[in-house]
Structure 1
Amino acid sequence: MATQFLHKLTAVQVRSLPPGKHSDGGGLWLWKREDGGGQWVLRVSIYGRRREMGLGSLSDVSLREARDAAAKQRALARNNVDPIKERQRQKREAARNLHLLRDVARDAFESRKAELKGDGMAGRWFSPLELHVLPKLGRLPVGEINQTDIRDTLAPLWHTKADTARKALNRLSICLRHAAALGLEVDLQACDNAKALLGKSRHKAENIPAMPWAKVPSFYASLSDGTVTHLALRLLILTGVRSGPLRHLHESQITGDVWTVPGETMKGLKDTTPDFRVPLVPEALALIEQARQHARGGYLFPSTRKGVISDMTMSTLMKRRGMKERPHGFRSSLRIWIAETTTTSHEVAETCLGHVTDSKVVRAYRRTDFLEQRRAVMERWAQWVSSGSSPSLAHSETAALSASADEA
């Protein structure tokens, strides 16, 4: 093909071209959309019949990559091979070769990324497989894996790290079902049978240590130096949110006295978790104003190096003080305080912690997040937390606070 008919576009033009179809020559076209995006398309002729095949989106495939791909497909067409059918054949062949557990596991993970919080980038979905299953079973054909293999693999964890073993078994079961969907012969009962062989786990789950609510004001008062860590812990206590959304708090999430936590950062599947509104009481707004002095890139709790503070930053502070309690435990402190000192309904109390209550059908009709009711509860919690009470005065002061609030 004559070179003068090729490479009509430049990288600069590709970014600035208006919507429409633009030829690069040799049958390679860029279809530009109104929103600025686009698609690379190659037109070839096979036995006199014109064929069009996509070569990828403009955001994923550069001009050079599109030209390289087009050259390969044109070479096939010159040999009277339909490039579209050849690509489909290669995909089918790859699927047939996808038979080792490690390959199936990776494919299953890629298929489920869209369902996972943060696209599973934190590694929590795949890590139980990667750390505890694939080192022993990854090189085995998935069709040869049976309950005995699974039992022997998970036995060392079953009674010592039961939650990890349970997650690994669950992920492995998903991988086997994925393999079956690919058309591979697998034993779909292998995981259930392995669980029966392993028996009941002797491991007893332990809750994250939580501070008694009567001691929270004293601890809150001790967080007084205005550092990022102290401010983050204070806001964590006041709002009752999990540490992940708190650490990633961004200016754009705050509107007036409401903090909207993006659904994808909440615990659960991101496609079923709506955005969560957190009422910001005056004490919380004052903390946020202090935190703005440390903000970087809009994030209120930046790390000293890059990004935001780590999950261990607040835990380390408490550990260095010789405390057994951990930041996540303050959610329990709040929930027990609500139960013991207020007459808040179960639905409102659970929503204060971002928990989902009732069935999906009930929630479909009860279209409220109890924002104002929660605001009243969190204002009372903030008054108690910021009172600086000593543990010995806790019960008497809380009783007085509850009484005055009820009278109001």
Structure 2
Amino acid sequence: MARPKNKLTNAELKAKGPGKYSDGDGLWFHVRADGGRQWVLRYTSYGRRHEMGLGAYPGVSLKAARLEAEKWQAVVRDGKDAIKERERQRRDAERNLHILRDIALDAFESRKAELKGDGKAGRWFSPLELHVLPKLGKMPVSQIDQRDIRDTLAPIWHDKADTARKALNRLSICMRHAAALGLDVDLQATDKAKALLGKQRHKAQHIPSLNWREVPAFYQSLDGGTITELALRLLILTAVRSYPLRHLHLDQIDGDIWTIPAEAMKGRKDATEDFRVPLSQEAQRVIAEATLFARDGFLFPGVRKGVISDMTMGKFMERRGMVERPHGFRSSFRDWVAEATNTPHDVAETALGHIVGGAVERSYRRTDFLEQRRALMERWGSAQIVDVKRRGKGESVVVSL
């Protein structure tokens, strides 16, 4: 026989004094001595009686309380404890309400050890910070789908293709990070968004670089003796990237060898060996001159603290009216090697710090071609200080090697 229900009316709820009043089927209306009124569901689970709060009146109306009571009584009839089931559902809901910004920051934190300088330069995080988080940062990660991602990246998908590609890559990493945390996310969302966005029209643009024949003239023009000019001279002479050069510490130099820590080498996340750079006589002269400016052991200190910024050398060249960038000197060097020397491919690539060959090949080849590179870098250094002769009225430069 069904238990009586719907005993109370809205008029009675307002008139009731302190006490507990049954509406039937386990739903009770409790009026406290202080005047507070709330709904309670009584049920029995595994032989024990429980009372489950359903909210305060009038925030929870009579109709809403009856619907809630019916829902949880169905859970009890299904053999579950209503209170425990509600807590489980609440935990699941909270777990899936993690917003993307929090997930992105956590993913970034967990990857810092893999990034140069623990990611302090911000290049890993900036595509997210600038192009994804402003629109999706406050959105629960479990609710992000391919349409959200498409709409977010569409404005830059073709015009800033490389940046958009990096942003999509970082977002994919964040989604996988969220899944690893146990969150309910669509791991295919980024791939589906890429399909919706279509093939990018933008073609990658190489960093502008000086023709290797013009590098000596530029090198010899760096005669002001400033930290920036000395840094540019050494950047040209060693053909390394900006980061390890800017963070060059005096204890990394031993005679004519500069040893760059493995973690400072781009593209060598899994490397366990440092990278040795042979220093030409000209490079050693530049280092000796720069040592006068050293602070806290760093050869190229910043104006106030730390080291010179990534933009310092680029801005110097820009003020000279140049479109070329410091990183382009690596291309200048590589072209010189290809056009003016007979250097083997593996030696040339190793000189740039590139990883040559597959994992198996590298496991058998233990050399870093130091002696061959020492002769190569000495020849490159000498090329920068020879007499420069201009032909006719043109700007081409002939260098005798």
Q: Does 1:288 align with 2:287?
A: yes
Q: Residues 117 and 268 of structure 1 are in contact (CA less than 8 Å); yes or no, is this contact kept in structure 2? A: no
- Cross-structure match for 1:260: 259
What is the alpha-carbon distance in structure 2 between the residues aligned to residue 269 and residue 343 of structure 1?
A: 27
Shift of residue 390 of structure 1?
A: 3.0
Q: How does 1:4-403 map to 2 (within 5 A)?
A: 96=95, 99-272=98-271, 274-392=273-391, 397-398=399-400, 401=401
AA aligned to 1:322 is G
Shift of residue 98 of structure 1?
A: 6.1
Report the RMSD for the aligned CA atoms in angstroms.
Answer: 2.2
Alpha carbons of structure 1 residues 391 and 326: separation in structure 2 relative to 1, 3 Å? farther
Shift of residue 96 of structure 1?
A: 2.9
Name the SS of the counterpart of 1:311 in structure 2: coil
Q: Deviations over 1:82-125 (max 9, x none)?
A: xxxxxxxxxx9999366222222222222222222222222211
Alpha carbons of structure 1 residues 124 and 357: separation in structure 2 relative to 1, 3 Å? same
Shift of residue 379 of structure 1?
A: 0.9
What is the alpha-carbon distance in structure 1 between the residues aligned to residue 94 and residue 212 of structure 2?
A: 56
What is the alpha-carbon distance in structure 1 between the residues aligned to residue 206 and residue 350 of structure 2?
A: 20
What is the alpha-carbon distance in structure 2 between the residues aligned to residue 117 and residue 235 of structure 1?
A: 21
Shift of residue 345 of structure 1?
A: 0.6
Q: Deviations over 1:225-272 (max 9, x none)?
A: 222111111111111011111111111000011000111211135443
Q: What residue ranges of structure 1 are gaps of 5+ in the alignment?
A: 1-91, 402-408
What is the alpha-carbon distance in structure 1 between the residues aligned to residue 101 and residue 171 of structure 2?
A: 11
Question: Percent sequence identity over matched residues?
Answer: 69
Q: Residues 223 and 230 of structure 1 are in contact (CA less than 8 Å); yes or no, is this contact kept in structure 2? A: yes
- Cross-structure match for 1:79: none
Alpha carbons of structure 1 residues 98 and 223: separation in structure 2 relative to 1, 3 Å? same
AA aligned to 2:208 is P
Q: Residues 115 and 269 of structure 1 are in contact (CA less than 8 Å); yes or no, is this contact kept in structure 2? A: no
Name the SS of the counterpart of 1:163 in structure 2: helix
Alpha carbons of structure 1 residues 117 and 101: separation in structure 2 relative to 1, 3 Å? same
What is the alpha-carbon distance in structure 1 between the residues aligned to residue 308 and residue 113 of structure 2?
A: 26
Q: Residues 221 and 388 of structure 1 are in contact (CA less than 8 Å); yes or no, is this contact kept in structure 2? A: no
What is the alpha-carbon distance in structure 2 between the residues aligned to residue 179 and residue 224 of structure 1?
A: 53
Q: Deviations over 1:274-325 (max 9, x none)?
A: 3110001111111111111111111111223222222222112211111111
Name the SS of the counterpart of 1:164 in structure 2: helix
Name the SS of the counterpart of 1:259 in structure 2: strand
Alpha carbons of structure 1 residues 293 and 395: separation in structure 2 relative to 1, 3 Å? closer
What is the alpha-carbon distance in structure 2 between the residues aligned to residue 117 and residue 293 of structure 1?
A: 27
- State the TM-score, normalizing by the size of structure 1: 0.72
- State the TM-score, normalizing by the size of structure 2: 0.73
AA aligned to 1:327 is P
- Cross-structure match for 1:17: none
Q: After the TM superposition, which of the residue ranges 136-145 and 150-159 deviates more from structure 2?
A: 136-145
AA aligned to 1:123 is G
Name the SS of the counterpart of 1:213 in structure 2: coil
Q: Residues 388 and 398 of structure 2 are in contact (CA less than 8 Å); yes or no, is this contact kept in structure 1? A: no
Alpha carbons of structure 1 residues 95 and 286: separation in structure 2 relative to 1, 3 Å? farther
Decide which structure has greater helix share: 1
